[in-house]
Structure 1
């Protein structure tokens, strides 16, 4: 079983924990809000 790892959010710079290989880890987004803000969609 995989362990949670710490990642830095791509757009917010916030730290979050996710399973390696998960969508959050692969995309580098800690939340949908950060993704929207980072893509200039807000």
Structure 2
């Protein structure tokens, strides 16, 4: 592949390290899809 348009890390640890290269912790946002609270409702 000549150009890497998308990227996926091979592990959670490597993903966290790669994100830390480009973003400060305060720049990250935690989010959840609105519908997930119904799809994954705790019973």
As a proportion of its length, which structure holds more strand? 1
RCO higher in structure (CA 8 A, sep ≥6): 1
TM-score normalised by the chain length of structure 2: 0.29
TM-score normalised by the chain length of structure 1: 0.29
CA radius of gyration, larger in: 2
